[in-house]
Chains A and B, each alone.
Chain A
Amino acid sequence: MEKKPELKPEEAAMELVACFPAKVARKRSKQIVINEVGPEEQVPEVMANVRTIPGIITMRGCSYAGCKGVVLGPTRDILQITHGPIGCGFYSWATRRNQTRPATGEDTNFMPYALSTDMQEEQIIFGGEKKLKKAIEEAIALFNPKAIGIFSTCPVGLIGDDVHSVAREMEAKYPGINIFGFSCEGYKGVSQSAGHHVANNKVFTDVVGLIDEPKEGKYKVNLLGEYNIGGDAFEIERIFEKAGLTLHSSFSGNSVYEEFASAHTADLNVVMCHRSINYLAEMMEKKYGIPWFKVNFIGAEASAKSLRKIAEYYGDKELMDKVEEVIAEEMKEVARVRDDVASRCAGKTAMMFVGGSRAHHYQDIFKEIGMKTIAAGYEFAHRDDYEGRKVIPSIKVDADSRNIEELKVTADPEKYRDRLTEADRKRLGDEFKFKNYEGMMPDMDPKTLVIDDLNHHEMEVLIEKFHPDIFCAGVKEKYVVQKYGIPMKQLHSYDYGGPYAGFQGAINFYRDIDKMINTKVWSLVKAPWDDSPELTATYACDQAV
């Protein structure tokens, strides 16, 4: 495809919605904005976290996917039972690349198992609680787990099965096992986002805080919103260890139940994916006094910045020196590969439409190799993910969000412990920005396009109008983009590559992008005869017949 002449973002925004029915176009126009960053990071308002338009070919998934698939899926030793017909359990089986590493070959690892009640018509008519109870008993007999999560699918909510009372009843029968249910029916909310919230609430009320023995080690940090796709959490753990930090628990990549249960004993929560887990960070601060701040380990510069911020939080000279030492050492190889890759990638353009922090995080890493993001957006974000948390008080709660429970959380009379002394607060000052996420837009260039909940048609228009050098989204979008002759990087599953977090991850990413953008394959798309299809000459012997 030929490069198109420069297109004004205002024109592009109009083109995106041009073929929609008027009502659809009106709505979509509020979800498409041209970025502008004013003083104090003031950005335009973008409509987000609103219903998907029926009939629109959407990138979004459902509440069940957000709860079971995203947040709880990566836990290694919580046995997960999908209560519903077979499909949901089947599709969420090993398809998200949540890697895990049990210490020994005998340690518990439920990750390769998909458990379902496989509801039949009989249960839809007469109720499924009896089958669920039986399934839990059979699961306990087979797997002997410490904890069981039950995940509700669409029909469960409709027929009125009460998974929470089943959980309580079964827990009374098997007191050694923590059994809890999630009301994450697919129709809840407007996207996966509702499921994240449901998952956060239940893990907070039913798991966190149950075990008071802290983990061994100095500087204990919980890493929230890191799901260990392609081994990201392994790489972050490697860096932490090298710097002398203790990764107390990661929510929820490569995680185990005990780490969740004792997470309230840590000193600090750092948040990677803001959208999927900010609730837990907030609630843990209120109940246990653990401060939190946003970090980003995608990109070498971002990783260094995040490490420094953690060290600054502790304010310990020894730690700060060690962190600088680690950064300096890791950066040598990073710089070598980065400069080499940048020599071939600088000036190229990217678009990315994924998740609820990744479309922001990956702009940093593209910047490191000189690439520019010209359009970006999230699949299931809320306004704060775009505009920053300062807009939270002005977000209107609609009917779809009101259906997701907001827990009332207060300080635990025994377990609350303020981690920061007055001196700490003074030392860190207002600049430190606890419990803050500045959002994606302040980081994006002016005049770039910010599009919430991008759909298939708009994606086609973007590609045809701007012809980016790389497009990032999910598997449903991958082969559409590639048919246009444009490399497409999956940022949910990493196209079976990774890790991309941390310093080694950055190196992996630079190299993978280089391979995708600079492969000769795209030059094969056109056949030699495509340019001159007409027959121009014949052999005499052919004419003789």
Chain B
Amino acid sequence: MLLRHTPKEIKERSALTVNPAKTCQPVGAMYAALGVHKCLPHSHGSQGCCAYHRSALTRHYKEPVMAGTSSFTEGASVFGGQANLLEAINNIFTIYNPDVIAVHTTCLSETIGDDLTQITNKAKEEGKVPDGKYVIKANTPSYVGSHVTGFANMVKGIVDAFPVNTGHKTNTINIIPGYVEPSDMSEIKRIASEMGIKTIVFPDTSNVLNGPQTGKYDMYPSGGTKIPDLIKAGDSKATIALGPIASGPAAKALDTKCKVPCEILKLPIGIKATDEFVDRLRILGGVSVSEEIKTERGQAVDVITDMQQYFAGKKAALIGDPDQMVSLAGFLTDIGMKVRHVVTGTSGKKFEKRIREAAGEDVNVKEGGDYFYFHQLIKNEKVDLILGNSYSKYISRDEDIPLIRFGFPIYDRVGHQYNPCVGYRGAMRLLENILNALLDRQDRDALEEKFELVM
């Protein structure tokens, strides 16, 4: 047993987190910043944070992840990090020539009270920001929220910096795709374009963190939302924000700043949540749902109807980020599975209510929980399937329960970068993964006389 010290009996803990189901704000901010074309994220703090965040994202995406750091030593921690950030901005524009530097704070620079607005203004006054270049920012103290909050804050930082309301409304719809994979952002763009709707999707990490092998390295890959588009987002006729926690704050800020009305929807994971997204797109865009999308929907539903007996009554335990968990719990419930345990590391008062709406009253829900607690729930009531990030594999092995890797980080598999979970195609991929896991288990456990070729 790898997790041999985890007892079945659950005792309340108020101070100790064991095996966290979340991480800190800056990594989410760094990820969001990579979704802007020619943007270099910058971590304002000591260099360990930046090293850890780059390593985590690199391991998850298996792609280069670039970011600067203010490299605080003890002196900067005592006297403030202004000199370090000014020097960093100058060095970054001179050496790496990005169009945008996206600065986020760390717990260190937050604790000493560095004022990013004042420092970046000073950088501009001192001519350290070349014409046509930008420094954007987000406050991301690690002792508040989680990586999801950090993502939300940097997306809001993008909104604070770029969109302009020129008074000439366009027929474009902004989509904030939420804290999802590059493959998901690309799928969201495809669905909208399939329906003939003009969109600005931001942030957009597709073709940044799932780039091709071409034999040459480019520090700024072709993907990422372009700055002119970000500026134009202020003239769009509406914004659809997917996932209230990750995308809500930016959508609301854009409404306030540029009078672009927003609708905050669930992440489009599963049939119903995708239906809602597609339907809003249809109505806002004034279009009909394309045949292609209708076919995709029909195919996904067909798989469910054909194979429903294998889903029916199977118990699942989920651990991950709140926006994802809400949609995923709803989807699993819709296909006939019983969602038993849902844990998110991110704190949020509405989480429990949302999960119960999606999966019924009879489910163990915990916000601000950890893997240790999640494991204890499973020890107390076994499930047939776990959905969670790579750290779930320890529980999966110890308890002999199949695992589908889902969420962040996934260090030990590929696929998440390239294949979506959102939309009907994403639903199809999830269904395939779930069925394969359940059927593999049935095959493995079957008696010889019950071992069937056709299933």
A-side interface residues toward B, CB under 8 Å? 1, 19-21, 24, 51-65, 81, 84-95, 105-106, 108-110, 112-121, 123-124, 131-135, 137-139, 141-143, 153-155, 157-159, 186-191, 399-400, 403, 456-457, 460, 474-476, 478-480, 482-485, 525-526
Contact of B303 with A by CB under 8 A: no
Which chain B residues (307-361) contact chain A, with CB distance < 8 Å?
345
Whether A54 touches B23, Cβ cut-off 8 Å, given contacts A112-B3, A116-B17, is no
Fill in one digit per residue for B238-257: 1 if any A CB lies within 8 Å of its CB, else 0.
Answer: 00000000000000000000
The docked-state distance in angstroms from the alpha carbon of A119 to that of B144 is 9
Q: Which A residues touch B68, using CB under 8 A?
A: 54-57
Q: Which B residues touch A399, using CB under 8 A?
A: 74-75
Contact of B142 with A by CB under 8 A: yes
The docked-state distance in angstroms from the alpha carbon of A24 to that of B71 is 14
* A62→B18 contact, CB < 8 A: no
* B55→A55 contact, CB < 8 A: no
The docked-state distance in angstroms from the alpha carbon of A113 to that of B46 is 25
* B94→A19 contact, CB < 8 A: yes
Q: Which B residues touch A158, using CB under 8 A?
A: 77, 108, 111-112
The docked-state distance in angstroms from the alpha carbon of A311 to that of B95 is 52
Contact of B59 with A by CB under 8 A: yes
The docked-state distance in angstroms from the alpha carbon of A356 to that of B50 is 20
Question: B88's closest neighbor in chain A, by CB?
Answer: A55
B199 smallest CB distance to A (angstroms): 29
The docked-state distance in angstroms from the alpha carbon of A123 to that of B90 is 35
The docked-state distance in angstroms from the alpha carbon of A116 to that of B16 is 6
For the complex of A and B, the 7 pairs showing the least CB-CB separation, nearest first, are A62-B48, A87-B24, A55-B88, A55-B91, A134-B15, A85-B142, A91-B52
Q: Which B residues touch A482, using CB under 8 A?
A: 213
Specify which of B65, B71, B76, B91 is in contact with A476 (CB 8 Å cutoff): B65
* B19→A113 contact, CB < 8 A: yes
Whether A57 touches B84, Cβ cut-off 8 Å, given contacts A187-B74, A399-B75, is no
B-side interface residues toward A, CB under 8 Å? 1-5, 7, 11, 13-20, 22-24, 26-27, 42, 45-56, 58-59, 62-77, 84-85, 87-92, 94-96, 106-108, 111-112, 141-144, 146, 211, 213-218, 345, 372, 391, 394, 411
Given contacts A19-B95, A55-B69, A142-B5, 7 further A-B contacts (CB under 8 A): A63-B48, A81-B16, A90-B22, A91-B56, A113-B372, A142-B11, A400-B73
* A154→B45 contact, CB < 8 A: yes
The docked-state distance in angstroms from the alpha carbon of A113 to that of B4 is 10
Q: Which B residues touch A485, using CB under 8 A?
A: 213, 215-216
* A525→B17 contact, CB < 8 A: no
Q: Which A residues touch B95, using CB under 8 A?
A: 19-21, 24, 55-56, 457
* A84→B213 contact, CB < 8 A: no
Q: Which A residues touch B42, using CB under 8 A?
A: 55
* B217→A91 contact, CB < 8 A: no
A414 smallest CB distance to B (angstroms): 37
The docked-state distance in angstroms from the alpha carbon of A13 to that of B77 is 33
Question: A188's closest neighbor in chain B, by CB?
Answer: B74
Q: Which B residues touch A475, using CB under 8 A?
A: 55, 58-59
* B17→A456 contact, CB < 8 A: no
* B143→A123 contact, CB < 8 A: yes
* A478→B58 contact, CB < 8 A: yes
Q: Which A residues touch B92, using CB under 8 A?
A: 55
Q: Which B residues touch A61, using CB under 8 A?
A: 47-48, 51-52
| Residue with the greatest number of chain A CB neighbours at <10 A, chosen from B11, B23, B112, B143 | B143
Whether A105 touches B4, Cβ cut-off 8 Å, given contacts A53-B91, A65-B52, A154-B111, is yes
Q: Which A residues touch B2, using CB under 8 A?
A: 109, 112
Q: Which B residues touch A87, using CB under 8 A?
A: 23-24, 26-27, 49, 52, 107, 142
Q: Which A residues touch B70, using CB under 8 A?
A: 54-55
Q: Which A residues touch B72, using CB under 8 A?
A: 187
* B46→A62 contact, CB < 8 A: yes
* B87→A155 contact, CB < 8 A: no
The docked-state distance in angstroms from the alpha carbon of A21 to that of B128 is 12
Whether A154 touches B58, Cβ cut-off 8 Å, given contacts A19-B95, A114-B20, is no
Whether A483 touches B111, Cβ cut-off 8 Å, given contacts A54-B84, A87-B27, A124-B143, is no
* A476→B51 contact, CB < 8 A: yes
The docked-state distance in angstroms from the alpha carbon of A56 to that of B90 is 10
* B24→A85 contact, CB < 8 A: yes
Question: A60's closest neighbor in chain B, by CB?
Answer: B47
The docked-state distance in angstroms from the alpha carbon of A119 to that of B25 is 13
* A120→B96 contact, CB < 8 A: no
* A116→B20 contact, CB < 8 A: yes
A478 smallest CB distance to B (angstroms): 7
Question: A154's closest neighbor in chain B, by CB?
Answer: B108
* B18→A114 contact, CB < 8 A: yes
Question: B108's closest neighbor in chain A, by CB?
Answer: A154
* A118→B17 contact, CB < 8 A: yes
**A and B contact pairs by CB, cutoff 8 A, 15 listed:** A20-B95, A54-B85, A54-B91, A55-B69, A55-B70, A65-B52, A86-B24, A87-B24, A106-B4, A113-B5, A114-B20, A124-B111, A154-B45, A483-B213, A485-B213
* B51→A1 contact, CB < 8 A: no
| Residue with the greatest number of chain A CB neighbours at <10 A, chosen from B68, B95, B146, B216 | B95
* B16→A135 contact, CB < 8 A: yes
* A57→B76 contact, CB < 8 A: no
Question: B372's closest neighbor in chain A, by CB?
Answer: A113
* B87→A55 contact, CB < 8 A: yes
A207 smallest CB distance to B (angstroms): 21
* A58→B24 contact, CB < 8 A: no
* A21→B94 contact, CB < 8 A: yes
| Residue with the greatest number of chain A CB neighbours at <10 A, chosen from B19, B47, B391, B411 | B47
B20 smallest CB distance to A (angstroms): 5
Whether A142 touches B18, Cβ cut-off 8 Å, given contacts A87-B23, A476-B54, is yes
The docked-state distance in angstroms from the alpha carbon of A92 to that of B24 is 13
Q: Which A residues touch B55, using CB under 8 A?
A: 91, 95, 474-476
B10 smallest CB distance to A (angstroms): 11
| Residue with the greatest number of chain B CB neighbours at <10 A, chosen from A54, A155, A484 | A54
Q: Which A residues touch B394, using CB under 8 A?
A: 112
Question: B25's closest neighbor in chain A, by CB?
Answer: A87
Specify which of A57, A112, A113 is in contact with B96 (CB 8 Å cutoff): A57
The docked-state distance in angstroms from the alpha carbon of A456 to that of B68 is 10
* B20→A51 contact, CB < 8 A: no
Q: Which A residues touch B94, using CB under 8 A?
A: 19-21
The docked-state distance in angstroms from the alpha carbon of A478 to that of B73 is 27
Q: Which A residues touch B5, using CB under 8 A?
A: 108-110, 113, 142-143
Question: B395's closest neighbor in chain A, by CB?
Answer: A112
* B111→A155 contact, CB < 8 A: yes
* A483→B214 contact, CB < 8 A: yes
A186 smallest CB distance to B (angstroms): 4
B367 smallest CB distance to A (angstroms): 13
The docked-state distance in angstroms from the alpha carbon of A91 to that of B49 is 9
A115 smallest CB distance to B (angstroms): 6
Q: Which B residues touch A526, using CB under 8 A?
A: 215
The docked-state distance in angstroms from the alpha carbon of A121 to that of B145 is 10
Q: Which A residues touch B58, using CB under 8 A?
A: 475-476, 478-479
Q: Which B residues touch A116, using CB under 8 A?
A: 16-17, 20
* A190→B46 contact, CB < 8 A: no
Question: A122's closest neighbor in chain B, by CB?
Answer: B143
* A479→B63 contact, CB < 8 A: yes
A192 smallest CB distance to B (angstroms): 8
| Residue with the greatest number of chain B CB neighbours at <10 A, chosen from A58, A63, A118, A137 | A118
Whether A153 touches B85, Cβ cut-off 8 Å, given contacts A57-B67, A113-B18, is no
The docked-state distance in angstroms from the alpha carbon of A52 to that of B76 is 13
Q: Which A residues touch B18, using CB under 8 A?
A: 113-115, 142
* B106→A58 contact, CB < 8 A: no
The docked-state distance in angstroms from the alpha carbon of A187 to that of B77 is 7
Q: Which B residues touch A55, using CB under 8 A?
A: 42, 68-70, 87-92, 95
* B16→A153 contact, CB < 8 A: no
Question: A153's closest neighbor in chain B, by CB?
Answer: B107
The docked-state distance in angstroms from the alpha carbon of A54 to that of B108 is 15
Q: Which A residues touch B88, using CB under 8 A?
A: 54-55
